[in-house]
Amino acid sequence: MSSLNRRNLIKQLAIGSTVVSGLSSFTENESSQANESKLRNNINHSACRWCYNSIPIEEFCAAAKKIGLKGIDLVGPKDWPVLKKYGLYSSMCNGAEINLVDGFNDKQFHDTLVKNYTEYIPLMKKEGYKNVICFSGSRRGKDDETGLKNCAEGIKKILSVAEKNDVIVVMELLNSKVDHIDYQCDKSAWGVELVKMIGSDHFRLLYDIYHMQIDEGDVIRTIKDNHQYFVHYHTGGVPGRHEIDESQELYYPAIMKAILDTGFKGYVAQEFIPSSDNKDKQIAALTQAVKICDV
């Protein structure tokens, strides 16, 4: 072999070796990233849309799908087609309620609420959705017993529609100490009593971990003792309602394990308010929160 040909061969082998090495490194990196983003699928992860309102719905759904979310919470009919486009489930529908303060505990709102839910629930059935949110409303001087009686009376008026369409009406537990002063359904025991009074599998509770840590604490014990009344969970860092990382007082992996131990098959939705206005940082925070809860 001539000296020139030998030099060319060595050069070609060196280039080939570099390319193969580079491809190998690229493949390993891709594999590593895929493993990092892969979720265990023990929990159906979701996120509340309102926490990311600054991100257009299409962009948010694309990011949610990439993270591995299976659903988006608190989305109404207008945005359901976008969720379907990205293969995401409307895990807690909203839009039938009046607001958080004018709820079922006040009879003056019953006619409006009954009309809203009666019209809304069949839309859910058509799209294959299961849970719709509702609220007790503010006390406005009503004692616990009166609030319970009024809520039961109003909700029973929409139960036949819910049962016919296989939809669950879900009342959210909210704290009345910091965020929703005077809200009546602010303790698990009150909500559980309401479920018992109504006596239907088509009415249950949304246990918001953030809110209940503030108003009653003892989160894991409450979940274990009352899980049959809870069909949905929300997260949030305490204090401040920001990221659920080491900056706050709750240890979410233990809470998620307790939820799984009850046999829960529903959705857990992230409902913390991102501390950054930067959308990339918001999505990064959501990604981290999902990984923390992915036990």
| Co-location of 60 and 134 in the same domain | yes
pLDDT score, position 37 = 54
- CA distances (Å), 156 to each of 121, 137, 252, in order? 14, 16, 35
| Co-location of 82 and 121 in the same domain | yes
Beta bridge partners of 92: 73
What pLDDT, in 10s, does the model give residues 244-267? 999 999 999 999 999 999 999 999
- 16: domain range? 1-38
The span from the CA of 193 to the CA of 87, in Å, is 36
- Both structure tokens of 199: 């006596």
| Co-location of 272 and 257 in the same domain | yes
Contact between residue 231 and residue 206 where contact means Cβ atoms under 8 Å apart: yes
Number of domains in the chain: 2
| Co-location of 84 and 221 in the same domain | yes
| Co-location of 136 and 263 in the same domain | yes
| Co-location of 106 and 10 in the same domain | no
The span from the CA of 20 to the CA of 24, in Å, is 6
Residue of 133, 99, 101 whose CA lies nearest to 234: 133
| Co-location of 86 and 214 in the same domain | yes
- Both structure tokens of 187: 């303790």
pLDDT score, position 35 = 36
How far is C-alpha 50 from the geometric centre of its chain's CA atoms? 11
pLDDT score, position 38 = 87
| Co-location of 26 and 157 in the same domain | no
| Co-location of 27 and 124 in the same domain | no
Segments of the chain scoring below 50 in pLDDT: 1-7, 9-11, 13-36
How far is C-alpha 56 from the geometric centre of its chain's CA atoms? 18
| Co-location of 16 and 90 in the same domain | no
- Both structure tokens of 61: 């759904």
Contact between residue 173 and residue 208 where contact means Cβ atoms under 8 Å apart: yes
Contact between residue 145 and residue 102 where contact means Cβ atoms under 8 Å apart: no
| Co-location of 101 and 232 in the same domain | yes
- CA distances (Å), 202 to each of 48, 171, 194, in order? 22, 11, 13
Using the Cα atoms of residue 72, residue 78, residue 79 and residue 83 in order, give the sign of their dihedral.
positive
Q: How many CB atoms lie within 10 A of CB 77?
A: 15
CATH code: domain of residue 136: 3.20.20.150
| Co-location of 285 and 255 in the same domain | yes
Residue of 233, 245, 239 whose CA lies nearest to 271: 233
